[in-house]
Structure 1
Amino acid sequence: MGARNKLKELRLPKRSEIERFVKQRPTCGMEMLSFLNCLKANQFQDSACVRERMALEECVREHQSSTGSGSGRKRKDTLMYHLKRLYYLQRR
Structure 2
Amino acid sequence: MRPSLSCIATSELSQCTTLTYIHFNDDARARAESNYRRLPMLLSLIRMIQAFRDYQRNVAELSQLSDRELADIGLDRSDIPRVAAGQYQG
TM-score, length-scaled by structure 1: 0.31
* Highest RCO, 1 vs 2 (Cα 8 Å, sep ≥ 6): 1
Structure in which a larger fraction of residues adopt helix: 2
Q: If the length of structure 2 is used for normalisation, what is the TM-score?
A: 0.31
Larger Rg: 2
